[in-house]
Amino acid sequence: MVLVLSFLVLYSKKLNMSICFQFFWFFKNMKLFERIRYISTTQGIPLYRIAEYLGESPSKFNQWLNEKSQKNIWEHLPKIIELFPNIRREWLYMGDEPMLKDGSTSSEPSHIAAAPEQRLATEDQMIQLERENAQLRELLEAKNELLASKDKIIALHEENKRLAESVSAVVTPTETRRDNPQHATSDKPASGATDCGV
């Protein structure tokens, strides 16, 4: 802020004072969503990459970047500070100058701009690993379900086999008569004894 004011004072004779005032007023009264856009531009990180780092879809994040919906960004500000460690918290939250921790308000990309890119690359790798991990968990659950189904099928097959054996072992009286010719016409037991009583 001091640097901006110094610049304005030194060059106020060359610049129209109203332009200087408008610049100062705009920079001081930037809305939160405007500060997010400004960070994206000056630090060289596209908005969609910031959205991915925050775990939000780029389209949803972009919808928040207006005056009515910017309230949704507040909960993500700590992660934005984490992503851009050279940005002052006071500037991001309230617009208090200067923007950068080194005291500058330059719109040039920061020397730390490469670090967020590296962090985003790592974040992309972590997101990919989490997706693969979730897929592996689903496959493991499917495998466990298949094994459980296999065990049930084997148990049902064994039960079916046992029932078939028990049914074949049970013989009804009418089936006995068909199998035994002596009982085909008589109700007498097949004892092997003759009718003469000997």
What is residue 87's three-state secondary structure? strand
0.75 exceeded by pTM: no
Backbone angles phi, psi at 192, to 5 degrees: 90, -5
Residue among 104, 105, 103 nearest 23 (CA): 105
Ramachandran category for residue 31: left, alpha or beta (phi over 0 → left; psi -120 to 50 → alpha):
beta
Question: Does the pLDDT of residue 180 top 60, yes or no?
Answer: no
What is residue 100's three-state secondary structure? strand
Average pLDDT value for the chain: 74
pLDDT single digits (tens) 120-137: 667 677 788 888 888 989
CA angle (107 as vertex; 104, 112 as ends), nearest 5: 70
Average pLDDT of the residues in 98-127: 62
Higher pLDDT, 168 or 183: 168
Question: Does the pLDDT of residue 7 top 60, yes or no?
Answer: no
Domain ranges of the chain: 1-29, 30-121, 123-169
Helical H segments across 70-180, by residue range:
77-83, 89-94, 114-169, 173-179
DSSP-derived secondary structure letter, 88: -
| HSE (side-chain half, CA atoms, 13 Å) at 13 | 1
What is residue 106's three-state secondary structure? coil
